[in-house]
Structure formats: structure tokens, C-alpha cells
Structure 1
Amino acid sequence: MADALEPEQLTTYFALMESASLLQHAVEQQLRSQSDLSHVQFQLLAKLAGTEGRMTMTELADGVVYSRSGLTHQAGLLEKEGLVTRAPSPDDQRATLVTITDAGRALVGRVLPGHIEVARRLLFEPLSDDDLRHLGDIMGRVRDHMRAQPPRSTAARRRRPPRAKERPAKG
């Protein structure tokens, strides 16, 4: 059994998790009030808008830390809305390229100011400039440490054990 976290580590962990949950909830409310986008869909569009406008599904999955199957579903919904297109990569026929459309860019442009306002009000307002530099440094190091692990998209998929009614009868 692993050693328990120290009290200060436990307090910090729960403060981080609660803060992230509160921020995500506020962002989801803002997105619902200004669009029909989920938080994940906004992340996908914003990631695409912040790049050259196209990425492979694997790059997107790793970039927004989302499962490949979940990303396929979300990209399909965005494609039905005309916000992205999907096509085989000309460089690798096994890869699928996702490209943001003009409508997708326009939607990000319309929703982003509210998103920024939520982040500014909830995350940055209580911090001094010095706090912000320290938090950015700390979170950057934590993120980089976590990103040094193999990306989720390269992890082997675990097969689920069969459910009780699917298991062969013992006999």
C-alpha cells in the first residue's frame, strides 16, 4: 500500500481539484448561455483556431486530454454543425485531419470573450502579479511533468472483462 499524502499535500490536492471543478462549471455555464458547445467542443475548436486550423485526431486527443473514441464522437457532432471538417491525412492515410471551418472560427470568436471574462474573474482576479507568475511557473512544471508521461493516445486499450452474463458457464 502506498504511503498516505502529507496533510499539506492532501489540502493542496483538494484545493486544486475543487478550484478546477468550480472553474470548469462556470465555463460550462458561460458556454451554454452563449452557444450550444460543451466544454470539450469549445476546447477542440479553440485548439484548432489557435493552430494552423488543422490537426490530426491523435494530436487533438493528446492536446485536450480526451479519449480517442470520445473525440471521434465530439468531432462528429462539430462536423454536423459545420464547425469542422474531417478528412484522411494526405501524409498518412491512417490519420484523420480535423480542420476548423470559417463558421467554427466565427463561433470561437463570439464565445471567447465571455470565456476570458470567466477566467479573469474567477482565476486571475484574486491573484497579484507575483502570484500569477508563481502559479504559472508551478503549473507549467506540473503540466510538463505530467506531459512527460506517454500520451493517452499511445496507451494500449484495455479489454474489459466480460460481464457475468457474458462469461462462459463453468462446467
Structure 2
Amino acid sequence: MTWAGSHRMTDLADAIVYSRSALTYQAGLLEKTGLVTRAPTPGDERGITVTITDAGRALVAKVMPGHTQVVSNLLFEPLSRDDAQALAGLLAPVRNHMRSAPPRSAAPRRRRGARPSSP
């Protein structure tokens, strides 16, 4: 994922391990402030594509100056290319597990005032 371009909301939610409903809510707030736009995904009648705007890119640049370089220097600089690839390989099962777990929003919710059912 990069800050440039457009992404389908479903793909974005899966990539950042975030519930789709929560991402929809957040994207709505960002759209109201002009930081992203949402539009139907061509060829997918149910899909929505989110695109960062120039104002969104400017805000990212303002609040995260040099962020990528700082993370790279602190986290990856001490690692050889082989070590970085080994680290990615070690963390892949964690990422996959996080992506396979249903988001919190998918769990059934109790109604307010409802008593838990007996087993």
C-alpha cells in the first residue's frame, strides 16, 4: 500500500487489517474534509474505490515529514538485505493470522439491556 493512487475499500481494509465498516466510517470522515474521494469501482457494482486527494497528500507530507526515511533508518538500516527478508518471512504468519481473523465488527453484538443467553 502506498499513499498515492486509488485502492478498493475492501482491499485497503484487508491490507491494513481493519474492519470494513470502521474503514467506511473513517473514509466518510476523510471525504467530508476533502482528504479522500470515494467512487464506484469500475466493473464491480458493489465495490467502492477510495483515492487520496492533493489536500490529503499535502496533509500526510505535513504531519509525517521524513517518516519513511526515519522508519527505514531506525528499523531496516541495521539489517542486511537477507536479514530484512528473513524478518519479513518471520512476520508473514503473524500478518496472515491477523488478516484471517474476523474483524471485531463481525462479532455478533448484544442489544443494550439484553441478558446473555444461557449455554
TM superposition score normalised by structure 1: 0.53
Specify which structure has the bigger relative contact order, considering alpha-carbon pairs within 8 angstroms and separated by 6 or more residues: 2
1:84 Cα deviation after fit: 0.7
Percent identity of paired positions between Structure 1 and Structure 2: 49
Runs of 4+ in 1 over 4 A off after TM superposition: 147-150
Per residue, is there more helix in 1 or in 2?
1
Q: Name the CA shift for 1:82/1:169 in 2 (closer, same or farther; >3 Å).
A: closer
Deviations 1:109-163 (A, max 9, x none): 44453313532454346x2xxx34344122211343345558458x482213556
Unaligned runs of 5+ in 1: 1-45
Counterpart in the other structure of 1:28: none
Q: Name the CA shift for 1:152/1:57 in 2 (closer, same or farther; >3 Å).
A: farther
* Residues in 2 aligned to 1:158 and 1:169: alpha-carbon distance in whole angstroms: 16
Per residue, is there more strand in 1 or in 2?
2
Q: Name the CA shift for 1:135/1:65 in 2 (closer, same or farther; >3 Å).
A: farther
Q: RMSD of the alignment, in Å?
A: 3.3
Counterpart in the other structure of 1:30: none
What amino acid sits opposite 1:58 in the alignment? T
Instruction: Report whether the alignment pairs 1:101 with 2:53.
Output: yes
Rg larger in 1 or in 2? 1
Unaligned runs of 5+ in 2: none
SS where residue 93 of structure 1 aligns? strand
Number of matched pairs: 116
Instruction: Report whether the alignment pairs 1:167 with 2:106.
Output: no
* Residues in 2 aligned to 1:132 and 1:80: alpha-carbon distance in whole angstroms: 43
